[in-house]
Amino acid sequence: MSKAYLVLDDGRIFEGKSWAAPGRTFGEAVFQTGMTGYQETLTDPSYHRQVVVMTSPHIGNTGVNSTDNESKKIWVAGFVVRNPSTLTSNWRSEKDLEAELIDQNIVGIQGIDTRALTRHLRDRGAMRVGIFSGEELSKEEMVVEVRKTSQMSGAYLSEDVSTKETYIIPAIGEKKFTVAALDLGIKGATPRALAQRGVEVHVMPYNSTLEQIMAISPDGVFLSNGPGDPSTMNDVVDLVRDILLEQIPIFGICFGHQILGRALGFETYKLQFGHRGINQPVIDKRTGKVEITAHNHGFAIKAPTEGTFNTVFGAGEVTHLGLNDGVVEGLQLLERGAFSVQYHPEAAAGPHDAAYLFDRFIELMLRYPRAKVAI
């Protein structure tokens, strides 16, 4: 195996060995703390333009299969592991991980000290990075190439990952509701979770209009996860405000949570290194219950965490907080059917502590049928 280099924009360089596809790639360096679920991570559109560092040292032992993909392709810009498995041993495995990365031309690197890299990103913050595998450049030239690339702040990426045409996931069993899911980078497990609850899900492009949404007479609107900077999403924020005025129940997760927060008048900000993994503790302020949850976000909402707040759509409150750093992890309107969480209740991959949130969305659509809503 030839040498490969991981180069950060602050000048630090890690030397490792070539793995997956050779070449060069650039993105934002982030670390992911999950010990399992690497296939779901790779195919999550929220990781578009990010170079993912796996903190678990041993990756690849279960191979890959066609069932666990969260989208039609691998979205990560690059993949960093300490010790990739040389053997695949799982009854569901259909292919070797490295072979899949090569087939999709994903540049990777192995053999670096991922613990040291993670500590560096935790202390200095997520930053631009490049992987150079089989490249004949000096260390100074590699740093210059990394610094030429754009940062995640200000990135408008929904158009890259969203569906171009609306498609429908039919309800399983009796159809009870119709939901318009705005695709900001949706994962496949999310509409499946709704379909299992009798919801017919219309997955719609990120730039859908209010008229297009209203044309399907939705009982609710779902705002999906996705990549990029929420401060750039003014058109979608305006759309969500129009939906709120139509008094249609709304459920948002991850990027959708940030969009709803902006629609309510709050600002967003970039976290130092973000939350990415399937072991993040969150407390429900209303019950005191602690949930272990799956996260993938680098931005968060600035909102008051004590008491209630006022918006043009009525009073609201922060419902969930991250126990590691106090980040706002959930909010709701008190007088209308709208709520959101920063994490991923579909558990792909991840724990199932938050699966009840889909049931809460169902309850919300029952409580606020559009024909009977009153302010």
Set 40, 98, 100, 346: catalytic member: 346
> What HEC string does the chain produce?
CCEEEEEECCCCEEEEEEEEECEEEEEEEEEECCCCCHHHHHCCHHHECEEEEECCCEECCCCECCCCCCCCCCCECEEEECEECCCCCCCCCCECHHHHHHHCCCEEEECCCHHHHHHHHHHHCCEEEEEEECCCCCHHHHHHHHHCCCCCCCCCCHHHHCCCCCEEECCCCCCCEEEEEECCCCCCHHHHHHHCCCEEEEEECCCCCHHHHHCCCCCEEEECCCCCCHHHCHHHHHHHHHHHHCCCCEEEECHHHHHHHHHCCCCEEEEEEEEEEEEEEEEECCCCCEEEEEEEEEEEECCCCCCEEEECCEEEEEEEEECCCCCEEEEEECCCCEEEECCCCCCCCCCCCCCHHHHHHHHHHHHCCHHHCCC
Catalytic, 346? Answer yes
- The amino acid sitting at 321 is L
Catalytic, 344? Answer yes
Catalytic, 202? Answer no
Set 48, 200, 254, 320: catalytic member: 254
Active site residues: 254, 344, 346
